Structure 1
Amino acid sequence: MGAGRDAETAGEGHLHGFGSRGYRTYVLNALLLIYILNFIDRALLAIVAPEMKPELGISDTGFGLLTGFGFALLYTLVGIPLAQFAETRNRVWIMTVCVALWSLMTALCGLSTEIVVGSLTIGAFWVLLACRVGVGIGEAGCTPPANSLIADYYPPSRRSTALGYYAMGVTLGGLLANLIGGPVTDAFGWRAAFFVVGLPGILVAVVFRLTVKEPPRGYSDPPGAVRKARPRFIDGMRELASKRSFWTMAIGATIASFCGYGISSFQSLFLNRSFGLTAGEAAVMVNAPVALASAIGTLATGWLAEKLARRHPNAIAWLPGVGLIISAPFYFVAFTTGNLTLALVCLCVGGAVKYGYLASQYTIGQGVVSAQVRAVSTAILLFLLNLLGYGLGPLFIGALSDLLFRLQAADLGAAGLARAACEGAGRVALSPAVQAVCEVAHPQSLERAMLLTAGLYVVAGFFFLITCRWLQKEMVAR
């Protein structure tokens, strides 16, 4: 696949981008595939939860730690150094190594079991947590270099659509994780699901390295753009310090990711507890349609913002802001209704209108900074999104759910009842009175925790709206 350009057209990168149109499309799809794998591997734990959680005896708080903070801590700590490395080193090689690493660690999650070393016994929970940390380290090297590559392959006029297309990896990854992981879990168990989704990523990493070329850094920037050969991290921070639109967008995106990661991590458990669905049924009947609707909404927002840009240049900020605010009442209905069809419809609509912020966060994050600090800008944004959003969102819902469960169980006359007693086969051994408490407190505590979290989407939307105040003054890429 040729990616070269004639010498006389090399100065027109800001008009056409790097390489031929067909090759750019191939590269964008390759990056999308990798981002899809990123979120398949990341989302799988939540999908297998109805089977895995009772087997390992994990509380909702422990599950929130496993799905969120345990993954996000190393992801964020490693992400910024990797992004800084990507500013001056080969981005294709960085992504190749990282894809192979996280794919291998995902497969190893399926081997998580109790380990005995002499007199020391390491529980399966801690082994699984260690594997999740490994997945986080690998995935830290995905999005910053990928965003930087897209910015060089596509001119400013086309980046909104390209980044919106790339951002679909979040929702398409969730879709495929459900369509693959759910049925595999029901048929062969949760451990097999990790092998099935993890191992193919190693082959993808090899093909990516062999077929994708590293473009000249800053190739698609406007003529006269100032570039530094070896930018420092402090340079990126100084530039970002003056960009108020970046920080208001980042606050809104962090709150939205806090809600979104928390809700998606516990969605299968919510469907299992409130409607009695198995892992596979929840994945195929509800989670997959919701992910598809969310993917369409993500792409549509980026496309619509680009179409409106001439008459409404701030559309990339206010469109997702409005969508986030609109999503809140749909989630309220989804988490309070006893009708599965109505819950499905509301989750689909809520996902479709809220996820437009994904296209916005990358477009604004890339657009308000110069070429030499794009990867660092993305890494700082991802530091906030993942440490505060992904790291704390699932943990918050899990801890709140356990707290509400204990309070509700006490009110119903079963003080001291452990949540683990309400899960799995052990539930049948409980007395009828305690089983009745489980029937109420077990699902309702999680429903209320998710409902309270979804209300924060309104706050996230507000921050995207106020981003419009400074966005046009601070935008570099136009």
Structure 2
Amino acid sequence: MATLTTAPEIADALALRRRTMTLALLTTTYFFSYMDRQILAILLEDIKADLLLSDTQLGLLSGLVFAIFYATLGIPVARLADRTSRRDIIAASLAIWSAMTALCGLAQNFTQLMLARIGVGIGEAGSSPPSHSIIADLYPPDKRASAMAVYSLGVVLGAGFGTLIGGFVATHYGWRVAMFTVGLPGIALAVLVKMFVVEPRRGLSDAGRVAEQGDAPSVMAGFAAIWRSAPALHLVVGVTLTSMIGYAITGWGPSYMQRSLGLSKLDISYYIALPGALFGSISAIAGGRIADRWAKARGLHVQSWVVLVMKGLSLPLVLAFYLIDVPAIAIGCYFGSLLFANSYLGPSFALIQHLAPLRLRAMWAAITLLVINLVGLGLGPLLVGRLSDWLAPSLGEASLRWSLVAIVSLTPWALFHYWRAGVLLRRAGD
């Protein structure tokens, strides 16, 4: 007698069959997110001249105005994602921020551009938390770090191509056309996300775990759950410190290359941006693959120690980049450091999703991103700038160099938390 296949079993099979397509679409969405975010940096001088803005206004547009709405709205969006269709939230969010990016090209003054940038932040708040949740449901723990690493390519490639496309289009057609160029295609992508991304059953790839029934827990319950989980707390602190250092390096890297190494903006665009994106992509993928391979052999706790080792190897190369005055050698050290720099992305977010209660996966991702963006993005570049200003009277242009050395020297603090998280995960049997 033939065994009847239930509707849930058919849905589960379809979700697993289409998970590669889903991961590809989510990664492409993340790519558009970072491209739309990064393009403003390369257009700032053109926007300043056209709209007669001050540097303070430019700083608000590129940092605080975006970060506040992006970080804080991720929490209510994640709560919604833990109760409703994550796919639909991602598609709607993508359409919103893509349209608002294009609208930036129509702005005639600071207020209009600020409102459009707020719209971009609001839209992008609905992308990563539900995406993390979907990926965690589609990939089992021993493959999750690799999947998260693939997803993180959106950061590296989006930033690189945002700079490249924005610079090229703005040079030939103006900054407004550049905004249209990166914004409008995202609306078409939103349709594809709605049509082809699957909405998997919560806990699909976690054998033995069953999603809790009833209403999703509150936001405070999400914070409390992370606070009670010592491994998760160490991971959140570790990834936040690592991101803060990374945002500082990314935000001030071009200025350092110009001030201390004598490179031009064109040199950085042509010879640094895309090779850097390539090396960063290798780092992200390798970090996830290595973490998954060692997890199969030794247990999930080893994934945290993979980050410890990889980031530890990058530290002397980063310091050499800032301490060596010969441009060719310094840039070589910089590229070398990038081979390890993004290795933390896949394992960090995969372990956080592993530890999260099934009904709180999007919420935990949103809380992590909230802390990363408010502390990492908010403080990293600011600390370097403040320290550089403080050191400038005595060190001159070298003040930026030593400010970056100081922020990079915080890396061992982050590595301690990854070590401790691994210890606690091993004690818990993971």
CA distance 1:338–1:9, change in 2 (3 Å) = farther
Counterpart of 2:374? 387
Whole-Å Cα distance in 1 between the matches of residues 10 and 330 of structure 2? Answer: 50
Whole-Å Cα distance in 1 between the matches of residues 39 and 230 of structure 2? Answer: 36
Report if aligned partners of 2:77, 2:126 keep a CA contact under 8 Å in 1.
Answer: yes
1:385-416 CA distance string (max 9 Å, x none): 111111222233333344444x25xx8xxxxx
Counterpart of 1:91? 86
User: 1:176-191 residue pairs with structure 2 within 5 A?
Assistant: 176-191=161-176
CA distance 1:363–1:232, change in 2 (3 Å) = same
Decide which of 145, 149, 174 is 1:160's aligned counterpart: 145
Counterpart of 2:179? 194
1:260-314 CA distance string (max 9 Å, x none): 1222123333334445555443223112211211111111111111111133322
> In the alignment, does 2:213 pair up with 1:228?
yes
Whole-Å Cα distance in 1 between the matches of residues 289 and 280 of structure 2? Answer: 14
User: 1:259-408 residue pairs with structure 2 within 5 A?
Assistant: 259-275=245-261, 277-313=263-299, 314-405=301-392, 407-408=393-394
The residue type equivalent to 1:301 in the other structure is G
Q: Which runs of 5 or more residues in structure 1 are unaligned?
A: 1-5, 115-123, 412-440
Counterpart of 1:7? 5
| Percentage of pairs with the same residue | 33
> In the alignment, does 2:31 pair up with 1:44?
no
Whole-Å Cα distance in 1 between the matches of residues 45 and 102 of structure 2? Answer: 19
Whole-Å Cα distance in 1 between the matches of residues 59 and 277 of structure 2? Answer: 21
User: 1:46-195 residue pairs with structure 2 within 5 A?
Assistant: 46-49=41-44, 58-59=54-55, 65-114=60-109, 124=110, 127-195=112-180
Counterpart of 1:208? 193
Report if aligned partners of 2:217, 2:359 keep a CA contact under 8 Å in 1.
Answer: no
> In the alignment, does 2:223 pair up with 1:247?
no
The residue type equivalent to 1:25 in the other structure is T
Whole-Å Cα distance in 2 between the matches of residues 187 and 447 of structure 1? Answer: 34
Measure how far apart 1:102 and its partner are.
Answer: 1.3
1:160 partner SS = helix
Task: Choose 274-283 or 26-35, whichever is displaced more.
Answer: 274-283
Measure how far apart 1:206 and its partner are.
Answer: 1.5
Report if aligned partners of 2:146, 2:288 keep a CA contact under 8 Å in 1.
Answer: yes
Counterpart of 1:416? none
Q: Which runs of 5 or more residues in structure 2 are unaligned?
A: none
Task: Choose 101-110 or 132-141, whichever is displaced more.
Answer: 101-110
The residue type equivalent to 1:328 in the other structure is L
Report if aligned partners of 1:68, 1:392 keep a CA contact under 8 Å in 2.
Answer: no
Report if aligned partners of 1:290, 1:351 keep a CA contact under 8 Å in 2.
Answer: yes
Q: Which structure: larger Rg?
A: 1
Report if aligned partners of 1:63, 1:395 keep a CA contact under 8 Å in 2.
Answer: no
The residue type equivalent to 1:69 in the other structure is L
Whole-Å Cα distance in 2 between the matches of residues 219 and 21 of structure 1? Answer: 9
Normalising by the residue count of structure 2, what TM-score does the alignment of the two structures yield? 0.89
Measure how far apart 1:41 and its partner are.
Answer: 1.5
CA distance 1:279–1:186, change in 2 (3 Å) = farther
Whole-Å Cα distance in 2 between the matches of residues 132 and 334 of structure 1? Answer: 34
Report if aligned partners of 1:183, 1:280 keep a CA contact under 8 Å in 2.
Answer: no
Measure how far apart 1:107 and its partner are.
Answer: 2.4
Whole-Å Cα distance in 1 between the matches of residues 208 and 100 of structure 2? Answer: 43
CA distance 1:109–1:264, change in 2 (3 Å) = farther
Report if aligned partners of 1:397, 1:450 keep a CA contact under 8 Å in 2.
Answer: yes
Counterpart of 1:456? 410
- CA-based RMSD: 2.8
Task: Choose 326-335 or 299-308, whichever is displaced more.
Answer: 326-335
Normalising by the residue count of structure 1, what TM-score does the alignment of the two structures yield? 0.80
> In the alignment, does 2:18 pair up with 1:33?
no
The residue type equivalent to 2:41 in the other structure is A
The residue type equivalent to 2:86 in the other structure is R
CA distance 1:384–1:310, change in 2 (3 Å) = same
CA distance 1:62–1:392, change in 2 (3 Å) = farther
Measure how far apart 1:69 and its partner are.
Answer: 2.7
CA distance 1:474–1:38, change in 2 (3 Å) = farther
Whole-Å Cα distance in 1 between the matches of residues 13 and 329 of structure 2? Answer: 46
Report if aligned partners of 2:15, 2:138 keep a CA contact under 8 Å in 1.
Answer: no
The residue type equivalent to 1:335 in the other structure is Y
CA distance 1:447–1:194, change in 2 (3 Å) = farther
Counterpart of 2:203? 218
The residue type equivalent to 1:7 in the other structure is T
Measure how far apart 1:342 and its partner are.
Answer: 2.4
Whole-Å Cα distance in 2 between the matches of residues 225 and 247 of structure 1? Answer: 23
CA distance 1:82–1:474, change in 2 (3 Å) = farther
Report if aligned partners of 1:69, 1:395 keep a CA contact under 8 Å in 2.
Answer: no
Task: Choose 312-321 or 136-145, whichever is displaced more.
Answer: 312-321
Counterpart of 1:465? 419
